[in-house]
Structure 1
Amino acid sequence: MATDYDAPRKTDEDANEDSIEELKNRRNDKNSGKVDEDEVEAAESFELPGADLSHEELTVRVLPRQSGEFTCASCFLVKGRSQLAEERDGKFYCVDCV
């Protein structure tokens, strides 16, 4: 949020001059925009850590190795042939791990 440094600022005396009624009205205005929601409905949508996910199913499609790829023997990431730094004992290493 931008700050207008040329705008006059309130001093401590000005802040103390706000009436109780004005402060109450400001508080009520801030609360008027809130939406009442059912706490039970809101709680049902939250997923807690360690929750039982045994009913969930994960589907992963594994692709076969492509012709221009290798798996680094150090970081185990699949890299393109342009990232190949060296081959030792039949194992490939990427430029990041050498």
Structure 2
Amino acid sequence: MKLGVMLITAVAGVGGLLYLATRPVLAANEISLEAGWNEVTYTGRTQTVANALQSIISQVVAISYLDPIEGIWVLATYDTLLKDGMVIGLEVTEACIWKF
């Protein structure tokens, strides 16, 4: 059983508090992904795509990164180095938590 912190959003309402949503607070090295394409900023240590995607490799369809100089998306390979601050396009088959 995984224990973690929950973030609870509440607003004052008639008769007390109205809880709008609860969701887990992710660790610094985790990103929540939805099924389909996700655009995220990678915040981990420098490592290859192959190493960084180990936790979700069975869900990955494609990964690309934004070339900041050319302003275009480039298809990544398993040898591509992911670096802190890179903008990543990641297509996955189902919702998952990417741990890197």
TM range (shorter): under 0.3
Greater helix proportion? 1
Greater strand proportion? 2
Please identify the structure whose Cα radius of gyration is greater. 1
Greater relative contact order (Cα 8 A, min sep 6): structure 1 or 2? 2
Tell me the TM-score normalised to structure 2 length. Answer: 0.25
Tell me the TM-score normalised to structure 1 length. Answer: 0.26
